[in-house]
Amino acid sequence: MSLESATRERIETLLKDHRVVLFMKGTRYQPMCGFSAAATNTLNELLPDYHTVNVLEDQEIREGIKAFGNWPTIPQLYVDGELVGGADIIRQMYGSGELHQLFGVSAPDRTPPEITITDKAADAIRSGTANAQGMALHLEIGPDHSAGFQLAPASEHDIVVTANGIEVHFDPASAQRAKGIVIDWVSTMQGEGLSLKFPGAAGGVQSMSVQELKTRLAAGNITLIDTRPAQGRALAKPLPQARILEEEGHAALANLPKDTPIAFMCHHGISSRGVAEQFAAHGFTQVYSVDGGIDAWAAEIDSSVPRY
């Protein structure tokens, strides 16, 4: 792949002006792909400030950076003008402590967390991983307490915990956030699945019907947050009273008083519960997930709202 001299000069100027540069899809606070999100989540753990370049807004840089470092994928991390690598390498270096050393910060705390896995959750995990030969169960917990399980090869740098006969692998940051968590198997109106309860989430997440939401919105005693992505909001506009999670961000909304009654609404009431659990984990005491989401609102409250 050829690289025009003007594009090369632009990239070289960026690398000269900033010690740490991440070429990514989206921005540090609103990544637009999973790999870019993984990279920023890791860098955010270590650096208060670094420069990002949104390649989605600059086609020349998007293609040029691939040729510049002979690296075919995005994101790409550069430090002191040198290519470090993509999301997988960033993750590996974080787990090993090499990234901490590169940035001159303290080595990560590798103390294994104490966690609880209920019998129901353990049975479900054993059933779901029965055929996953050679793979390990990883649990990643982000800065906003968003959590996700995945099956992936084990790494020598993983922090490994065994609870109720189940082996769980963590990266250093996730391990620290996992202290005291309870992993359970729960059944809701939307289906069954694994659920994480954090020590700070004493009150947990409550369900709210669309009828109750209508009443409380009219009374002005609930803060409604729409958790849907932009494409969903384009198909059915948010309720007029709703604040938009994607636009305001977790950090801004997390600064609300901890006793603020908050209801989270998504498309069908599934993903909103996960977001609600994150806020409960941050100490919010009145947290609700709207059953059925905006689809239920359209079906039961306002037929003018499109269903999709």
Q: How many CA atoms lie within 13 A of 193 on its CB side?
A: 13
CB atoms within 10 A of CB 287: 26
Q: Where are the beta strands (DSSP E) in 63-190?
A: 76-79, 82-85, 116-117, 136-141, 147-152, 159-163, 166-170, 182-188
**Measured distance CA(304)–CA(150) in Å, rounded:** 39
Question: How far, rounded to the nearest angstrom, does the alpha carbon of residue 266 sit from its chain's CA centroid?
Answer: 16
**Measured distance CA(277)–CA(141) in Å, rounded:** 12
Record the tokens describing residue 35, joined without a space. 């790999």
**Measured distance CA(175)–CA(107) in Å, rounded:** 14
Is 33 one of the catalytic residues?
no
CB atoms within 10 A of CB 151: 12
**Measured distance CA(236)–CA(36) in Å, rounded:** 28
* Catalytic residue of the set 201, 225, 266, 275: 266
**Measured distance CA(24)–CA(214) in Å, rounded:** 40
- Could you list the active site residues? 266
